[in-house]
Amino acid sequence: MTDLKKLVLANLHAELGGKMVPFAGYDMPVQYPAGVMTEHLHTRRAAGLFDVSHMGQVILRPTSDMAALVAAFEAMMPVDVAGLAEGRQRYGLFTNEQGGILDDLMFANRGDHLFVVVNAACKEADVAHMQAHLGAVAEVQHLTDRALLALQGPGAEAALAAWVPGVTEMRFMDVREFDTGFGPLWISRSGYTGEDGFEISVPAAGALDLARSLLASEGVAPIGLGARDSLRLEAGLCLYGHDIDTKTSPVEAGLTWAIQKSRRTGGARAGGFPGADRILHELAAGPERVRVGLRPEGRAPMREGTALFDPDGTPLGEVTSGGFGPSVQAPIAMGYVAASHAAPGTSLMGEVRGKRLPVTVVSLPFHPTTYKR
């Protein structure tokens, strides 16, 4: 593990008592002395600061025509890029020719260019993918001189507004740039916890001062990967490589909300993206399997890989994410099951350590979201 990449804030994590673990090639804090449960509940109650600098930050700058870049980028995914207004961000999905998901991402329209944030484990492949498909119309700039922080929770706005007052005017999925004493901050009102909050791209030189300033704010605590995972699971959000992958379609994954009407059959710019035949067919006819929320009975969590069966013993699928939900005080999970058994209220069985235990299909999310619309 000596070749693990270090975060810009590595010394701060050590100072704060962070327990470091390997994750996506980086040495990352999984928790701090308070522990995962306390960190999770603190984020729901007040505000948590996450270091997500392992994520990939990419600028797509048109070499001549912004419209050509937008069209080429839109051709890479079943998502409406052309209709995204300046100063707004959208969830996207790179798909392959088989209709599977290469990665999920966030992209923002910043007027004269696009700003893209991709998953850490996929970022090298994503950058190469973008260079291959966009190289003729854009400069693909993988940024390595900026950190990325996420401030999440009901206290996030007040904490950040003390340093950047303009964020109070932002709504969910707005993006803005602010000139500050920490350098130019690129801020989106978004996150991965289901809570209101912000993701902040900051120059590496200003990252430590910004992090210390936010942590000095009332109600803000450092939060590690452990609580980030339990928070996103309660919010019903997918984790790439687990809940979605190169064989999973957006329709199977329940991500049809990310496919706007303009890209669907009959839309102004229908199809034309990798895997369109499968994806458009599944939108019309339904997929054979779907991602569902699961509530195991009792207190035993059903972890990733747990096999799922109907009460008669017929295999139906498996769990892709599972654990204990601190906010709901119960085990929760997500997984894929045959579409015939996906309705909320359906009783299934999950095999845990050789025993088949009851689990019920439920609607997602497990915990209500609090985005500022």
**pLDDT tens, residue by residue, 121-161:** 999 999 999 999 999 999 999 999 999 999 999 999 999 99
Position 365 scores a pLDDT of 98
Position 367 scores a pLDDT of 98
10-54+145-234, what's its fold?
Gyrase A; domain 2 (3.30.1360)
* Helix pair angle (225-234, 36-45), 10° resolution: 60
Position 2 scores a pLDDT of 65
Position 50 scores a pLDDT of 98
- Cα separation, 20 vs 58, whole angstroms: 26
Position 339 scores a pLDDT of 98
- Cα separation, 207 vs 167, whole angstroms: 18
What does the domain layout of the chain look like in residue ranges? 10-54+145-234, 289-373
Architecture of domain 289-373: Beta Barrel (2.40)
The two three-digit tokens of residue 356, written as one number: 């088949």
Instruction: Enumerate residue ranges in the chain where pLDDT < 70.
Output: 1-2
Residue 125 CB neighbour total at 10 angstroms = 15
- List beta partners, residue 315: 309
The two three-digit tokens of residue 294, written as one number: 């699961």
Residue type at 113 in one-letter notation: H
Position 258 scores a pLDDT of 98
Sorted by sequence, the CB contacts under 8 Å of residue 42 that are 6+ apart come out as 34, 48, 153, 221, 223
